[in-house]
Structure 1
């Protein structure tokens, strides 16, 4: 996918978010944490084998199959998806039964850049993938050349004002964040800025993690080209 096509996909995303089908007005809720759900064995390995380091991994084929991120960029996926009424994450997880919650201020701040990368669906609510990079890194340069840069202080998906510890996230799409650095979760947990929780798991977490689910090919909302176009 070219940078021009990413921009076209961004425009298509905004058209969907502010269409009559999902409401005329902007809907945002405050969030203080981004969270990552994995099976308990995943966290056990981090605690016992990697000295608390949650290592980044190569991006799978989830989302748009033409995304330049696929098999090119390393990172960690976090979710900003919360209920519009309670402000809480979903009560079940499709990616594992253990979660780590990390302050949104750890990722959305003046030391990092924010990019729009993808817009897709799996027959239900549409998803938006944002990428967070550490400024000046190879990953940052990669994204600057291929993705659409966003203002982290205000955009239509996820933004944080400098004087606030929380961020505002749209509830019209499911916002996910691909963070391109490894994280020492031992430090965050010991400093009590991050915390863990447990939820029931549904589905095959390994399939979604290692293979990835490609976007729905015939959706006329999130595809630049469809089978019948």
Structure 2
């Protein structure tokens, strides 16, 4: 049996109806209207969901509105209503179920919510008779879709700036991170799950396994900077080892941390690797030789040349283990600028440059 066609309710239009001037007026006593039961949440995105429920047929023809109480889960311990049985959230006209609730300013990605529903009947005097509240259901909104990531991508492209040449990827850590262990595997840098830094809805946070590398260069020298927020020892590897025509490149995120610096995350995944499989369908794929952030171009003599964007700080995630013997480890001469660390950094939700309309 086909699912009934759902109705879409824009949260911006979910205003308290006529006769409900405040949260404490316009609501009648609990009536014998049918109680919503077996609440079902489906088709969850980062900024919308479908909701449906079952209810008795008795009194159903009297229903004119639905009252929807939607709260972030962390607020569950707060006073649920300003007044007994008075909703403080959303009022929607009764429409066929399932109903799509959508509102970019209201719902955030990757956020746990609770929802409860009342049915209501608008009275001739403008007040409402209401049912009891349904059970409380919990659900979590989804990650950004590729549509949303493409919106972020367009914003990042707008400020990327001109491209500068580079020759190496590098990674700074404490000295012990590069010391060999008894286990031969420890002669490799191993992928780890990405932390929660950056955009809250990015599908790579807490899911994609990879190794962070940098490639930004100093404008005046064309070489990697000598300062680092991550440690005084640097592993350095020729760019063509990690990025070549057998590597796919994906856009992962664009964010800032309450500063003028903006960060772009790109993912390098060898073709056919587990990381490549993870990224396909989740992240926008970039052209290796022609994009605004990180390029690999074949020259006339067959060699590869590399360029990075000047006006953003690139964070490159390589999805496979890297053999330390393929590069070099040396101590850098600069300072550890811990204030520049992006570990679990929170994105500035007020920045107009790097935010999109579906949440932070």
**SS of aligned partner of 1:5:** helix
Match of 2:201 in 1: 66
- Cα deviation for residue 125 of structure 1 reads 1.3
| Pair 1:94-2:233 in alignment | no
Match of 2:114 in 1: none
Match of 2:66 in 1: none
Pick the structure with greater CA Rg.
2
Match of 1:184 in 2: 323
Aligned length, in residue pairs: 209
Residues 1-229 of structure 1 aligned to structure 2 (within 5 Å): 1-17=144-160, 26-44=161-179, 47-51=180-184, 52-122=187-257, 123-163=259-299, 164-186=303-325, 188=326, 194-199=327-332, 200-203=335-338, 208-209=342-343, 212-225=344-357
Partners in 1 of 2:324 and 2:249 — Cα distance?
Answer: 22
Partners in 2 of 1:175 and 1:30 — Cα distance?
Answer: 13
Cα deviation, 1:44-81, whole Å, max 9, x if unaligned, reads 2xx12442011110010111121100111100000011
Higher strand share: 2
Cα deviation, 1:76-123, whole Å, max 9, x if unaligned, reads 000011112211222211011111111111121111100011111121
Partners in 1 of 2:183 and 2:346 — Cα distance?
Answer: 30
**SS of aligned partner of 1:140:** helix
- Cα deviation for residue 172 of structure 1 reads 1.2
Partners in 1 of 2:269 and 2:358 — Cα distance?
Answer: 31
- Cα deviation for residue 165 of structure 1 reads 3.3
Q: Which moved more, 1:144-153 or 1:84-93?
A: 84-93
Which one scores higher on RCO, CA 8 angstroms, separation ≥ 6? 1
Any stretches of 5+ residues in structure 1 without a counterpart? 18-25, 189-193
Partners in 1 of 2:357 and 2:232 — Cα distance?
Answer: 36
**Is the Cα–Cα contact under 8 Å of residues 220 and 226 in structure 1 kept in the other structure?**
no
Q: TM-score, normalised by structure 2?
A: 0.55
Partners in 1 of 2:165 and 2:239 — Cα distance?
Answer: 10
**Is the Cα–Cα contact under 8 Å of residues 6 and 118 in structure 1 kept in the other structure?**
yes
**SS of aligned partner of 2:353:** coil
Partners in 1 of 2:310 and 2:233 — Cα distance?
Answer: 23
Q: TM-score, normalised by structure 1?
A: 0.84
Partners in 2 of 1:114 and 1:100 — Cα distance?
Answer: 22
Partners in 1 of 2:182 and 2:198 — Cα distance?
Answer: 31
Cα RMSD (Å): 2.1
**SS of aligned partner of 2:329:** strand
Partners in 1 of 2:358 and 2:246 — Cα distance?
Answer: 39
Any stretches of 5+ residues in structure 2 without a counterpart? 1-143
- Cα deviation for residue 14 of structure 1 reads 1.7
**SS of aligned partner of 2:169:** strand
Partners in 2 of 1:84 and 1:208 — Cα distance?
Answer: 22
**SS of aligned partner of 1:15:** helix
Runs of 4+ in 1 over 6 A off after TM superposition: none
